[in-house]
Structure 1
Amino acid sequence: MYKKLSIIIPVFNEESTIEILLQKIADTNLIGEIRKELVIVNDGSTDLSNQKIEFFISKHTNLDFWYIKNKTNKGKGNAIRYGLKIATGDLILIQDADLEYNPSDYNVMLEPILSGEANVVYGSRFLNMNLYKKSYWGHKIINKGITTFSNWLSGLSLTDIQTCYKLMDANLLKSIDLCENRFSFDHELTAKLSKNKFIKVNEVAISYEGRSYKEKKIGWFDALAAIYAIIRYNKFMKSEKTGMDISSPVFNLEVNKLAV
């Protein structure tokens, strides 16, 4: 029985959105009587993100927080790996700080986990396009291409490998040796998950409100790095040991898509 969800939030120069996001998380009541733990990793922000985070924490003493501050920017993947070291929940979810993803989708993602259908859930922006706001055709085409390439090598059938929203069993995630520091973390994680035959992945439809290209921190270099990471981790890396109980019928390599 899962009791606590650790929400890892990498932050880099998000002074305009971080307080709003944290309030949305605070206002979200989770199903199954699951408690929330916020693991905020300030990844070398040079704006007012730090002050706004500290102010929010000081006003919400009823919430469980971990707050880590990197002196320099080390990348999203590095921030997530740091957060994993201190997260105490038995479930872990990754949350961007830019308001593109809405915490109101937490419960949709939790349902397959709590029902025993899965131990890994990806939130897909493309399963229900009615939930996709501010659509940019270039972004969708690139994502589609990268996801298709990843599926070809991994054997999965995901629709959105680059989604921020990834939820999974904490013991499972912490058992995987992760090393990517930037956005290729997504591709490393997916590749290493796919190599474990005891994993069942569900995909659920989530809402998405994308920022403009100018506002995004991911660029063409990251797209090339993604392709390299997909090849590297799918073709040249050995399977990971998870230490999970393989006797359960839940642990089979499979991707389910749940549209809402």
Structure 2
Amino acid sequence: MKLSVVIPAYNEQESLPQTLQTLYASLSKHDIPHEIRVTNDNSKDNTLQVLENLSKEIPTLVYETNKGPNGFGYAVRYGLERFSGDCVAIFMADLSDDPEDLVKFYKKMLEGNYDAVFGTRWSKGGKVYDYPTVKKVINRMANFIIRMFMGVKYNDTTNAFKLYKRETMEGLKPFLSAHFNLTVELPLKTIVRGYSFAIVPNSWTNRKYGESKLKIKEMGSRYFFILMYCFIEKTFSRGDYRKKTKV
């Protein structure tokens, strides 16, 4: 099963070399057929030049520039509309996600034939390194609200790092989110629409270079919009969007 890894990148010239080299090394070591698909989100630094240079040493690297509209959600969606694999993971350009965790996700999907595999940083086996205190408080509050509102037990919905089968991703369309709220839309739709999923502990490490693109003050209403949409679909759609069972 071929794995596609979609990586949104905006002004990540410093982070990308280590991220892509480490990711390629892990996937190659485990003999996982794959492509690494980076969306350059119209970066203003030398991200594009860095990608061009890295493509000479990483044969599975594919990169394209999203000329607009721009934003985290648009950049991820750009990759999700173009990936070639049988399954697809969303992975951060700053190496906050661990490539070895992605290997665990992939093996778990194969082992149980799951439609998706979600990571959790906050359950037994999960780890966070240098997680900003304010961000952590907001994260835990947001995930608590999602759990209570949607009636789900999963405790790390807001983390983008997840793996989906191609058929699952097709079943989650159309995508509504243009920004970081896409990280909530995809797993909540997966759950609401009846796709199977496994939960695997994973780690998170704060970025070494640059700054986070997540602007918390701008995202509150957008997260709330997606949460309300998924709640309305769950409550009133009468199963119209649920996974179709093969006869």
Q: Give me the TM-score of the superposition, normalised by structure 1.
A: 0.83
Q: Taking every aligned residue pair, what percent have the same amino acid on both sides?
A: 23
C-alpha separation in 2, matches of 1:64 and 1:242: 34
> Are 1:91 and 1:167, in contact at CA under 8 Å, matched by a contact in 2?
yes
Partner of 1:254: none
Cα deviation 1:46-98 (Å, max 9, x = unaligned) = 001110011000233xx233321023461121112111221110010001101
Does 2:163 match 1:167? Answer: yes
> Are 1:155 and 1:194, in contact at CA under 8 Å, matched by a contact in 2?
no
Alignment of 1:63-142 (within 5 A): 63-72=59-68, 74-116=70-112, 118-128=114-124, 131-142=127-138
Among residues 179, 188, 191, which one is paired with 1:191 in the alignment? 188
C-alpha separation in 1, matches of 2:16 and 2:240: 34
Partner of 2:230: 233
Letter in 2 for 1:142: I
Partner of 2:197: 201
**1:128, CA displacement in angstroms?**
4.1
> Are 1:21 and 1:97, in contact at CA under 8 Å, matched by a contact in 2?
yes
Letter in 2 for 1:222: M
Q: Give the SS at the match of 2:167.
A: helix
> Are 1:9 and 1:95, in contact at CA under 8 Å, matched by a contact in 2?
yes
**1:150, CA displacement in angstroms?**
1.5
C-alpha separation in 1, matches of 2:232 and 2:184: 12
Provide closer, same or farther for how the CA distance between residues 68 and 140 of structure 1 changes in structure 2, counting only shifts above 3 A.
same
Q: Give me the TM-score of the superposition, normalised by structure 2.
A: 0.87
Among residues 144, 148, 152, which one is paired with 2:140 in the alignment? 144
Alignment of 1:11-30 (within 5 A): 11-29=9-27
Q: Give the SS at the match of 1:208.
A: strand
**1:106, CA displacement in angstroms?**
1.3
**1:227, CA displacement in angstroms?**
2.3
> Are 2:4 and 2:85, in contact at CA under 8 Å, matched by a contact in 1?
yes
**1:31, CA displacement in angstroms?**
8.5
Count how many residue pairs are aligned between Structure 1 and Structure 2.
241
C-alpha separation in 2, matches of 1:32 and 1:115: 15
Q: Give the SS at the match of 1:58.
A: coil
Q: Give the SS at the match of 1:29.
A: helix
Quick check: 79-88 or 36-45, which moved more?
A: 79-88
Structure 1 residue runs of 4+, over 6 Å off?
none
> Are 1:154 and 1:194, in contact at CA under 8 Å, matched by a contact in 2?
no
Does 2:5 match 1:7? Answer: yes
RMSD of aligned residue pairs (Cα, Å): 2.4
C-alpha separation in 1, matches of 2:186 and 2:44: 28
Quick check: 159-168 or 113-122, which moved more?
A: 113-122
**1:102, CA displacement in angstroms?**
1.6
